[in-house]
Amino acid sequence: MDARLPVGRHVVESSGALMLKDVKPGDEGVYNCRVENFLGSVNASLNVTVQFGPHVSLSSKRLMAEETQNVSIACNATGRPSPLITWSKLVGSLAKDGIKAQGGTLKINNVTRKEGGIYICKAENILGSATDTAQLMVFSPLRFTVRPPQEVTPFIGSTLRLSCSAESDLSPTTYWRKEGKSSLSLNSNVLLNGTLVLQTIKKTHEGSYVCKASNALTTIEAKVKINSQIATSCSVIKKYVSSVSGNYVIDPDGEGGLAPFSVFCDMTNKSGVGATVISHDSESRTHVKGYERPGSYSRDIHYTGANLSQLANLTRVSLQCEQFIKYECHGSIFWFPHQADSWWVSRDSEKMTYWGGASPGSGKCACGMNNSCADPSTVCNCDKNDLVWREDSGLLTDKSKLPVKQLRFGDTGHGGEESYYTLGKLKCFGIA
């Protein structure tokens, strides 16, 4: 009310008329005319409304959206009287579910590619009209075409490959990060196709990794938890880690429980399936003489680097186990079906009255399985009990009883009676 009249654009004529030139929207308001002389004064006021044609501007000239997003385009229109806003599309129609014009805002829910194009906002009043346009571009959503697993537990020493790739119209880039680190660890690289390769897995590789894919519109990510585990046997190492024979650490019962231990892996044995080979302190051919009573000779077997519980777990995770055993006799008998003068003791301290090459529990030696023994009426060559060097030998293969814990011999006390025994290494192979 106290505003000044526009500077330079108004004239008060001699008749008392106020003339405004170059009227602008800001000239609106109440104008007061005051007439006064020495007898007093009178006031008159007039409300002036300025009408002007519409002007429009869109919030954005170019909009990019992914399919299924909701899009809104705002059209700011000025003019007096207030202009009427209408929306149209340069090509095609707006008559569709999910497209709503509310005042100056056009809302498109769940946008599809068909809704891409040029949108026109038109504002009209009695003084004229104005338009503005915006281009909407709709792209396929960014998504993973190959997503890595959420959790992996590779074997120590193995190479881990994790694929990750994404696609969208806006060519995305993928990259890997280890959580809490700005770069990946050593011994890792990312192939051009987005595959993360971690070589010679170690405990330090463990952690959360994330594959991120980004395009101009958005970023998506896939998390992978990487653990590690020690192989349970040489066959597992052969399959997943290495085919080079040598010493390796295995942990047959997995994490926790019994401690891991070092073994020799023969990767060429057993048609290349990889054999876990356990040595012991009684591998050399050993002479027995002077022990007459059944089982009076006793030899405990001590395995190198592992106790019997650890080895029991090795047999459990292996498909097969075997241990070679040989008895060379000179008048010294087994006599299994009767009192048994000699036997072997299982890992669980059971007296085992059959010999290598025969079926477990058969009470025989190998020759007894096909009636080929030196004396056909017996089940072991040594049971002939003459003073001729004879031999019973073969593999023990019952993995629920192996390895051999102890050897017991007798019938070597009388004149001319003697023997030699040989016990091979424990070998386990295959993945149970």
Q: Where on the chain is the footprint of Ca ion (CB under 5 A)?
A: 251, 253, 257-258, 331, 385, 411
- Report CA dihedral (168, 173, 176, 179) to the nearest 10 degrees: -80
Which residue type does 54 have? P
The residue (of 218 and 229) whose beta carbon lies closer to Ca ion is: 229
Residue nearer to Ca ion on the CB measure, 119 or 327: 327
Cβ at position 225, least distance to Ca ion in Å: 21
Q: How far apart are CA 25 and CA 55, in angstroms?
A: 12
The distance of closest approach from Cβ of residue 251 to Ca ion in the complex, given in angstroms and rounded to an integer, is 4
CB of 411 to Ca ion, least distance (A): 5
Comparison of 332 and 406: residue with beta carbon closer to Ca ion: 332
**CA-based nearest residue to 335, from 404, 410, 416:** 410
Closest separation in Å from C-beta 328 to Ca ion: 14
Q: Considering the complex, state which of residue 258 and residue 395 has its C-beta at the smaller distance from Ca ion.
A: 258
Pairing, β 62-66 against β 128-139: parallel
Contact by Cβ (8 Å): 386, 411: no
What are the distances in angstroms from CA 387 to CA 291, 329, 376? 16, 9, 17
The least distance separating Ca ion from the CB of residue 240, rounded to whole angstroms, comes to: 18
User: Closer to Ca ion at the Cβ: 32 or 309?
Assistant: 309
Query: Exposed (0-12), middle (13-18) or buried (19+): which is 226, by Cβ within 10 Å?
Result: buried
In the complex with Ca ion, the residue whose CB is nearer, 258 or 431, is: 258
- Residue 17: partners with Cβ closer than 8 Å, 6 or more residues away: none
In the complex, minimum distance from the CB of residue 380 to Ca ion, in angstroms, rounded to a whole number: 12
Q: How far is the CB of 413 from Ca ion (least distance, A)?
A: 9
Cβ burial, residue 361 (10 Å; 0-12/13-18/19+): exposed
Q: What are phi and psi of 366, to 5 degrees?
A: -55, -45
CA distances from 86 to 99, 138, 273, 283 (A): 13, 22, 77, 97
**Closer Cβ to Ca ion, 390 or 427, answer by number:** 390
Q: Using H for helix, E for strand and C for coil, what is the string for 250-314?
A: ECCCCCCCCCCEEEEEECCHHHHCCEEEECECCCCCEEECCCCCCCCEEEECCECCCCHHHHHHH
Specify the pairing of strand 406-409 against strand 297-300. antiparallel
Q: How far is the CB of 67 from Ca ion (least distance, A)?
A: 51
> How far are the Cα atoms of 123, 265, 387, 420 from residue 286, in angstroms, in the given order?
109, 26, 19, 5
274/331 with CB nearer Ca ion? 331
Based on CB atoms, which residue is closest to Ca ion, 106 or 317?
317
CB of 255 to Ca ion, least distance (A): 6
